[in-house]
């Protein structure tokens, strides 16, 4: 659980970094997207690892939830969870489920069309018009097109708020699960706050930026 979570958190940093290029330079964003989309090491090495990582994380998340529910066969009539623990820590399954719903939309938006164009239609050129070698890369245009729809932008923003909630507990939790000493508690909690707020805000900024700039 913790290992897959850390892997996902590192992946998200790279993902955000590349997305940010789309704000500064469409050209650089196109280059990076083309590289990530066509480099065999990334496509056939890292991509399957990522898919397995995501699958493992949420399947184990559900398994964990079911097992832990079973460990209390009779519920309390009155339980004051807020007295001793944070809301985010008690609702990881719900923030996780919201992220999962978002992932379904996100895969439908970007991953499925990408796989279709590259591996089913066999067009590895990454060009807007594959017949014309001088045409632009298609990635930036596709991105801008997706974020023209306000409903989609709102869905993305809501999803990243859930991601922030998930990480506000998950970040430090992952270190504790791996046995990291509480001597580093302060630094880890600080890191958790920075990561789980700045990273989702970054994604939100990009979605909103493209909505308002095109």
User: In this chain, which residue has its C-beta nearest to ligand HEM?
Assistant: 96
Q: By CB under 8 A, tell whether 186 contacts another protein.
A: no
Q: Is 134 in the site for another protein (CB under 8 A)?
A: no
Site string for another protein, 45-64 (x = CB under 8 A): -------------------x
Between 47 and 177, CB nearer to another protein: 177
- Per partner kind, with CB cut-offs from 5 to 8 A, the member of another protein, ligand HEM, none near residue 166 is ligand HEM
From residue 61 to residue 90, the character string flagging contacts with another protein as x (rule: CB under 8 A) and all else as - is ---x--xx-xxxxxxxxxxxx-xxxx--xx
Instruction: State yes or no: residue 103 binds another protein (CB under 8 A).
Output: no
For residue 180, what are the CA distances in angstroms to 9, 30, 174?
A: 17, 39, 9
Cα distances from 67 to residues 46, 73, 85, 88, in angstroms, run: 31, 11, 20, 19
The packing angle between helices 150-177 and 185-213, to 10°, is 170
Site size with another protein, rule: CB under 8 A: 32
Cβ distance 61 to 5 under 8 Å? no
- Residues 6+ positions from 5 with CB-CB distance below 8 Å: 57, 170, 174
Q: Binding of another protein at residue 145 (CB under 8 A)?
A: no
Nearer CB in complex with ligand HEM: 92/128: 92
**Residue 126, binding choice from ligand HEM, another protein, none, Cβ under 5 to 8 Å by partner class:** none
**What is the distance between the alpha carbons of residues 170 and 167, in angstroms, rounded to a whole number?**
4
Per CB under 6 A, residues contacting ligand HEM are 1-2, 5, 8-9, 12, 54, 57-58, 61, 64-65, 89, 92-93, 96-97, 99-100, 103, 166, 169-171, 173-174, 177
What is residue 107's three-state secondary structure? helix
Least separation in angstroms between CB 86 and another protein: 7
Work out the burial of residue 179: count CB atoms within 10 Å of its CB; fewer than 13 is exposed, 13-18 middle, 19 or more buried.
exposed
Please report how the helices 47-70 and 2-24 are oriented relative to each other, as an axis angle in degrees rounded to 10. Answer: 130
- For the beta carbon of residue 55, count every other beta carbon within 10 angstroms: 11
- Contact residues for another protein (CB under 8 A)? 64, 67-68, 70-81, 83-86, 89-90, 92, 169, 172-173, 176-182
């Amino acid at each position: 659980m913790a290992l897959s979570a850390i892997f996902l958190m590192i992946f998200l940093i790279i993902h955000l970094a590349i997305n940010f290029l789309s704000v500064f330079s469409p050209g650089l964003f196109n280059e990076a997207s083309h590289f990530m989309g066509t480099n065999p090491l990334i496509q056939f090495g890292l991509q399957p690892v990522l898919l397995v990582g995501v699958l493992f994380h949420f399947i184990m998340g559900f398994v964990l939830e079911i097992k832990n529910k079973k460990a209390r066969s009779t519920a309390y009539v009155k339980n004051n969870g807020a007295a001793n623990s944070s809301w985010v820590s008690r609702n990881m399954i719900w923030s996780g489920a919201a992220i999962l719903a978002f992932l379904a939309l996100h895969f439908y938006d970007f991953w499925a069309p990408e796989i279709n164009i590259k591996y089913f239609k066999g067009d590895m050129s990454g060009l807007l018009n594959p017949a014309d070698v001088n045409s632009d890369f298609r990635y930036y245009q596709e991105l801008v097109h997706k974020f023209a729809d306000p409903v989609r932008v709102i869905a993305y923003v809501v999803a990243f708020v859930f991601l922030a909630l998930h990480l506000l507990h998950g970040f430090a939790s992952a270190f504790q699960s791996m046995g990291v000493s509480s001597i580093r508690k302060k630094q880890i909690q600080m890191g958790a706050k920075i990561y789980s707020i700045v990273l989702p805000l970054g994604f939100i900024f990009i979605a909103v930026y493209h909505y308002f700039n095109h």
